[in-house]
Amino acid sequence: MFVPFICLMLVLLSVKLYVSAEVDSQKTILEQTRKQYQTSDFLAFKDIIQKDNKTLSNLESFYKKEIYTSDILKMVSDIPRPENLYLTDLSLNRDDNQKIKVTISGFSKSRDDLLVFQKNIQGVTQIKNLSFSPESWVNPVNVKFNLVFEVSP
């Protein structure tokens, strides 16, 4: 009964010695590989790659958040305006829902011209949530107005 047990112990001991020898050889190979990749040239190249990856990540983020201003400016400039209505300021902002918020300020010689402009803007299908400031409608002549609307991409 002791003989099979002793044989099993010897087999397990030999397996243990074989595995520990393999582990030691793999540790040696790993250490040599680490030394090979810790050279100054390799580390400098690694830094260059990390900088380039960061730059690419920033570019991707920029292009995802990009506003195509030329399309929006063309759309705003194509809106028919009465002769005595002038746009003085335009700003574009993108919100978290990828909608572009456009804010326009301007001057109109009469409230009627501003009403015509409002109707023309409402006729543009890409424009949503049009809102004029209440101060835009107070004066009947020499009206300074502000309006805000959203453009979906």
Question: Domain segments of the chain: what residues?
Answer: 2-65, 69-151
Q: Is the pTM of this model over 0.75?
A: no
The pLDDT value recorded for residue 146 is: 92
Q: Hey, what CATH topology would domain 69-151 get?
A: Alpha-Beta Plaits (3.30.70)
As a whole number of angstroms, the distance between CA 77 and CA 52 comes to: 40
The pLDDT value recorded for residue 49 is: 94
The pLDDT value recorded for residue 94 is: 78
Q: 15: pLDDT confidence band, cut at 50, 70 and 90?
A: very high
Cα torsion 79, 85, 91, 96: sign: negative
Which tokens go with 87? Answer: 């746009």
What residue spans of the chain are helical by DSSP H?
A: 2-36, 40-65, 69-78, 111-122
The pLDDT value recorded for residue 153 is: 60
Residue 79 · residue 124 · CB < 8 Å: yes
The pLDDT value recorded for residue 137 is: 85
Residue 101 · residue 146 · CB < 8 Å: no
Tens-place pLDDT, residues 53-110: 999 998 887 777 776 778 888 888 899 999 989 999 999 887 777 778 899 999 999 9
pLDDT at residue 21 tops 90: yes
Q: What number is the average pLDDT over the span 37-49?
A: 86
* β-bridge mates for residue 150, sequence order: 101, 128
Q: What is the CA radius of gyration of the chain?
A: 36
The pLDDT value recorded for residue 126 is: 87
Residue 97 contacts by C-beta under 8 Å, 6 or more apart in sequence? Answer: none
Q: 8: pLDDT confidence band, cut at 50, 70 and 90?
A: very high
- Which carries the bigger pLDDT value, residue 132 or residue 37? 132
Phi, psi of 99 (to 5 degrees): -90, 145
Strand 85-94 relative to strand 127-132: parallel, antiparallel, unpaired? unpaired
Q: What is the mean pLDDT of the chain?
A: 88
